[in-house]
């Protein structure tokens, strides 16, 4: 009787953790991305959603990135309903008409489940900026571009 | 819902999106009321981005005595005290003269030796990201320490600083109040603390609102009569600044600076036979500086204030780039440019009008083209730039309030500071003659 109660106690402890883990994984994967994940770019089956985060991780629309202030990005890579196994290898931004880029080097941190956090971006001038995401999936490298107008 | 009702609804929403939407709707309203003779909705939205003024004050998280009254008074006293300098004759205020917008009126600075760069003014200095023409400092206290220690400027050191503090009872008292310990030359933190006190005082230097700010406010509230009261030349100059001149591409925000760097074709050659590498050297200096925000003297344990330094990216084009200066208070800070080579605002506008593209870095900015302005357009731009300064001479900030428990010491040591302030004023008068 004592041992059955002990086994039951173990199960009682682990079942909620298992359920919590399952729910968390589903929530973190967030695939396919929706509007809350920001702007959506696609390349073949790959979907890339990106969302700017200001100080304090306050999300803003990609059309509302402030000039000359540092911001971070939350990036989600999906393939259909599944988190992509691809990796965000590089991110950069340039002003094509000005022929120069940012004054700062962004750094990418993988968070798992196709999610990445990018720190250290700043658009220091007004005008058209072009963000380039370089995504590697095995031997395939995709470059996804997004234009942003900074005012 | 009317535009006004929309704006009232979102008045307390702090999100930038709502604010911009509000500004845009006001601009729509104003555009409809004012007609095409004045600013377009797009122009008003852009003008709105140059305010409000003053900007909300924020304490420096990297400086634990930012906003501390004892530190502010200590900083004020040290700023004016020649005891920090090797020759005991010059102070920070020798070059950063309050009467001149905390500038010196000279092309290049003169400390113990002649410098190669123009002394920057200090109004609104607490709002900056990088300090110095090359951005060689990422925080105000580090930037304040450099001239004290530089043999070419004040030539001070920790021993001299500690003895100065201990030799003047009020300074000693203020230091203990601000930092909770005695000033000791053997204390590794002494110089950083002294610089933090000087920075705490400089953070209080916020310049008053200007004619431009009044025009901006009038536009945003749709007050056509108040807008019309501003000189047509100012308004034409503002339109040129935002439009064909593309000045606001870099001279952005309430400070009229994006806080970054650019090559605008001002020569970087320095006599004799040298060059000033500008931002290229500044990046090296800031990364090598033990007082930068990545170092242990930064009081922000999160290091969230070190993002800019952590992500710096040296580029070939940085050679010959210099800081985009704020355009506020220009009227009181001539001469202009990093080397003080342009005497008047008219000269500055002429420079952009006839910019020599051959002088620009081959990897540099591609949108800089000669504007070929007419003389009347130059007049208009100068009128606008002058409207970014207060009309009357700047009020010289007085001493910060005394600290009660240090009050007994204050009278005796204040005499020495007053004597030095008088000598600085006399120096200014000699230059004026």
Are residues A101 and A81 part of one domain? yes
Report yes or no: A104 at the B interface, CB cutoff 8 Å: yes
**Domains identified in chain A, total number:** 2
Domain count, chain B: 2
Query: Measured between alpha carbons, how far is B43 from B26 in angstroms, rounded to an integer?
Result: 12
**Do A74 and A134 have their domain in common?**
yes
Inform me whether the C-beta atom of residue A66 falls under 8 Å from chain B C-beta atoms. Answer: yes
- pLDDT band for position B130 (cuts 50, 70, 90): very high
Residues of B in contact with A51 (CB under 8 A): none
Q: Which of B17, B250, B363 is the closest to A60 by Cβ? A: B17
Q: What is the mean pLDDT of chain B?
A: 87
Any CB–CB contact under 8 A between B363 and chain A? yes
User: Chain B residues with CB inside 8 Å of A52's CB?
Assistant: none
Q: Is the pLDDT of residue B73 over 50?
A: yes
- Local confidence band at A14 (pLDDT 50, 70, 90 cut-offs): low
More confident residue, B366 or B327: B327
A128 touches chain B (CB under 8 A): no
Residue B350 has pLDDT above 80, yes or no: yes
| Pair B2, B99 in one domain | no
Any bridge partners for residue B164, and if so which? none
**A4 with A48, same domain?**
no
Tell me: do A74 and A48 sit in the same domain: yes
Query: What pLDDT does A19 receive?
Result: 47
Output the six-digit token pair for A116: 């990445």
- Does residue B76 sit in the same domain as residue B20? no
Q: What is the CATH number of the domain that holds B140?
A: 1.10.760.10
Q: CB-based contact (8 Å) between B77 and chain A?
A: no
In a domain, B296, yes or no: no
A59 and A53 Cβ atoms separated by less than 8 Å: yes
> Rounded to a whole number, what is the distance in Å from the CA of B185 to chain A's nearest CA?
38
For residue B80, being part of any structural domain is answered with: yes
* Chain B contacts in chain A segment 105-124 (CB below 8 A): 105-107, 119-120, 122, 124
Q: At what angle do helices B211-220 and B16-34 cross, to 10 degrees?
A: 80
Closest partner residue to B16 (CB to CB) among A64, A104, A122 is A64
Q: What is the DSSP letter of B363?
A: T
Provide the pLDDT for residue B416.
53
Residue A1 pLDDT exceeds 50: no
Instruction: Tell me what the pLDDT averaged over chain A comes to.
Output: 86
Q: Please state the rounded mean pLDDT for residues B79-93.
A: 97
Q: What pLDDT does B432 receive?
A: 34
User: Which of B367, B368, B369 is most worth mutating to test chain A (most A CB atoms within 10 A of its CB)?
Assistant: B367
- Verify whether the Cβ–Cβ distance B311 to A106 is below 8 Å: yes
Structure confidence at residue A92 (pLDDT): 97
Question: What is the 3-state secondary structure of B397-427?
Answer: CCCCCCCHHHHHHHHHHHHHHHHHHHHHHHH
Range in B28-42, B116-130, B313-327 the model is least confident about: B28-42
Residue B430's pLDDT band (cuts 50, 70, 90): very low
B23 and B84 co-located in one domain? no
H-state helical runs in B184-296: 190-202, 211-220, 224-228, 232-242, 279-288
What's the CA gap between B210 and B392, in Å, rounded? 10
**Both A9 and A62 in a single domain?**
no
Tell me the pLDDT band of B14, cut-offs 50, 70 and 90: very low
Say yes or no: B87 and B156 in one domain. Answer: yes
What is the DSSP secondary-structure string of A48-116? EEEEEEEGGGEE--GGGPPTT--EEEEEEEEETTEE---EEEEEEEEETTTTEE-SB--EEEEEETTEE
How large is the average pLDDT for residues B400-420?
69
Tell if the CB–CB gap between A98 and B250 is shorter than 8 Å. Answer: no
Q: Same domain, yes or no, for A112 and A52?
A: yes
Which residues are bridge partners to A137 per DSSP? A140
φ, ψ for residue B250, nearest 5 deg: -110, -40
Q: Which helix (H) or strand (E) holds A8?
A: helix A2-29
User: Are residues A85 and A131 both part of a single domain?
Assistant: yes
For residue B83, is it within any domain? yes
Contact check, Cβ <8 Å, B365/A100: yes
For the four alpha carbons of A125, A128, A130 and A131, in that order, the dihedral sign comes to positive
Whether B329 maps to a domain, the answer reads no
Q: Please give the pLDDT value at position B395.
A: 84
B307 touching chain A per CB within 8 A: yes
Task: Tell me the residue range of the domain where A5 lies.
Answer: 1-30
CATH of the domain at A36: 2.60.40.1930
In angstroms, the CA A27 to CA A20 distance is 10
The CA distance from B226 to B52, in Å, is 17
* B82/B126 same-domain check: yes
A79 in the same domain as A43 = yes
In this prediction the pTM is 0.85
DSSP bridge pairs for A107: A119
Nearest to B311 among A68, A105, A127 (CB): A105
pLDDT: is B189 or B31 the higher one? B189
Q: How far apart are CA B133 and CA B143, in angstroms?
A: 11
Which of A124, A128, A150 is the best mutation test for B, with the most CBs of B within 10 A? A124
Residues A107 and A38 in one domain: yes
- Answer whether residue A76 shows pLDDT above 60: yes
Q: Say whether both A61 and A23 belong to one domain.
A: no
How confident is the model at residue B11, as a pLDDT?
36
Question: Residue B369 has what pLDDT?
Answer: 86
- B4: in domain: yes
Residues 6+ apart with CB under 8 A from A23: none
B147-168 per-position pLDDT tens digit: 999 999 999 999 999 999 998 8
- Nearest by Cα to A43 from A143, A119, A120: A143
Q: Is B313 within 8 Å of chain A by CB?
A: yes
Please name which of B315, B373, B311, B309 lies closest in space to residue B346, comparing C-alpha atoms.
B373
Least confident of B164-168, B204-208, B408-412: B408-412
Q: Are residues A55 and A90 in the same domain?
A: yes
Residue of B16, B261, B315 with shortest CB distance to A66: B16
Q: Considering only A71-85, B161-175, B413-427, which range has the smallest mean pLDDT?
A: B413-427
| pLDDT on residue B362 | 65
Residue B286 within a domain: no
pLDDT at B357: 79
**pLDDT of B56 strictly over 60:** yes
**Domain around B147:** 69-206+397-432
Residue B259 with chain A: CB contacts under 8 Å: 68, 124
A122: left (phi over 0), alpha (psi -120 to 50) or beta: beta
**For residue B140, is it within any domain?**
yes
Share of chain B above pLDDT 70, in %: 84
Residue B132, CB half-sphere, CA atoms under 13 Å: how many? 25
Per the rule left: phi > 0, alpha: psi between -120 and 50, beta: everything else, A4 is alpha
Token pair, residue A111, equals 């968070």
Which residue did the predictor score with more confidence, B164 or A30?
B164
**Model confidence pLDDT, tens digit, residues A43-72:** 999 999 999 999 889 999 999 999 999 999
Q: Could you tell me if A12 and A36 lie in one domain? A: no
């Amino acid at each position: 009787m004592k041992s059955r109660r002990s086994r039951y106690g173990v199960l009682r402890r682990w079942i909620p953790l298992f359920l919590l883990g399952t729910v968390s994984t589903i929530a973190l994967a967030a695939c396919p991305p929706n509007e809350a994940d920001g702007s959506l770019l696609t390349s073949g089956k790959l979907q890339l959603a990106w969302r700017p985060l200001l100080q304090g991780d306050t999300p803003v629309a990609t059309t509302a990135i402030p000039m000359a202030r540092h911001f971070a990005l939350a990036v989600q890579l999906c393939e259909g309903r599944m988190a992509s196994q691809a990796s965000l290898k590089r991110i950069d931004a340039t002003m094509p008409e000005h022929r120069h880029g940012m004054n700062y080097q962004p750094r990418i941190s993988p968070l798992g489940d196709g999610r990445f956090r990018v720190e250290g971006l700043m658009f220091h001038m007004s005008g058209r900026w072009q963000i380039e995401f370089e995504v590697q999936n095995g031997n395939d490298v995709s470059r996804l571009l997004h234009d942003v107008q900074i005012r | 819902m009317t535009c006004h009702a929309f704006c009232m609804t979102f008045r307390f929403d702090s999100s930038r999106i709502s604010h911009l939407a509000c500004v845009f709707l006001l601009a729509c309203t104003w555009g409809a009321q004012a007609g095409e003779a004045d600013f377009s909705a797009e122009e008003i939205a852009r003008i709105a981005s140059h305010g409000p003024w003053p900007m909300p004050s924020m304490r420096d998280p990297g400086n634990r005595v930012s906003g501390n009254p004892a530190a502010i008074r200590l900083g004020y006293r040290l700023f004016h005290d020649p005891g920090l300098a090797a020759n005991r004759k010059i102070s920070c205020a020798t070059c950063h003269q309050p009467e001149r917008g905390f500038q010196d009126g000279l092309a290049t600075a003169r400390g113990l030796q002649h410098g190669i760069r123009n002394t920057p003014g200090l109004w609104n200095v607490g709002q900056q990201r990088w300090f110095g023409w090359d951005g060689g400092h990422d925080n105000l206290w580090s930037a304040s320490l450099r001239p004290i220690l530089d043999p070419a400027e004040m030539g001070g050191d920790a021993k001299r600083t500690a003895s100065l503090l201990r030799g003047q009872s009020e300074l000693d008292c203020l230091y203990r109040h601000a930092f909770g310990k005695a000033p000791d030359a053997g204390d590794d933190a002494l110089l950083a603390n002294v610089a933090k006190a000087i920075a705490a005082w400089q953070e209080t230097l916020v310049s008053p609102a200007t004619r431009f700010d009044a025009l901006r406010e009038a536009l945003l509230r749709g007050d056509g009569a108040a807008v019309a009261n501003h000189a047509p030349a100012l308004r034409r100059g503002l339109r040129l600044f935002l439009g064909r001149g593309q000045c606001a591409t870099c001279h952005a925000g309430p400070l009229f600076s994006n806080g970054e760097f650019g090559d605008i074709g001002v020569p970087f050659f320095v006599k004799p036979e040298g060059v000033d590498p500008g931002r290229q050297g500044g990046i090296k200096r800031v990364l090598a500086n033990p007082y930068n925000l990545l170092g242990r003297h930064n009081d922000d344990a999160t290091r969230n204030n070190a993002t800019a330094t952590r992500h710096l990216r040296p580029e070939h084009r940085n050679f010959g780039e210099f800081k985009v200066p704020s355009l506020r208070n220009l009227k009181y800070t001539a001469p202009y440019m990093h080397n003080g080579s342009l005497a008047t605002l008219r000269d500055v506008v002429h420079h952009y009008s006839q910019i020599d593209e051959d002088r620009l870095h081959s990897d540099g900015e591609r949108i800089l083209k000669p504007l070929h302005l007419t003389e009347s357009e130059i007049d208009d731009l100068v009128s606008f730039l002058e409207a970014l300064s207060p009309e009357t001479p700047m009020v010289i900030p007085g001493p910060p309030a005394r600290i009660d428990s240090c009050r007994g010491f204050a009278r005796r040591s204040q005499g020495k500071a007053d004597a030095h302030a008088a000598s600085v004023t006399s120096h200014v008068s000699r230059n004026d003659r």
